[in-house]
Amino acid sequence: MPQALPIGVAVSALPVAVEDRTGYRRTSFKHWNTGDLPNDGCNTRQEVLLSEAVEYPAIGPGCALSGGVGWSYYD
């Protein structure tokens, strides 16, 4: 029977496993939009990476990100 749980409890109940990227190709996901500010060159993916950065990455031309350390609730 389904049950409603607070998000923190639900996430902590998820099994933890080693990341497996078999078959993953970033180029398969071409749907990233232009983000909140279309003129800044950052797409939605890049904006999320920036918003979750613990150590900010370097931002190059066209919002190319390099370095930095990110954290999300699901890590």
pLDDT, tens digit, for every residue of 13-66?
889 889 888 998 878 877 778 778 778 889 888 998 999 999 999 999 989 999
- Res 50: pLDDT: 92
> Is residue 75 very low, low, confident or very high in pLDDT (cuts 50, 70, 90)?
low
- Res 59: pLDDT: 94
Residues forming a β-bridge with 66: 58
The answer to whether 36 and 50 have CB atoms below 8 angstroms apart is no
The domains of the chain are located at 31-75
Residues forming a β-bridge with 37: none
Question: Is a pLDDT exceeding 80 seen at residue 67?
Answer: yes
Residues forming a β-bridge with 53: 70
Measure the CA–CA gap between 65 and 29, rounded to whole angstroms. Answer: 17
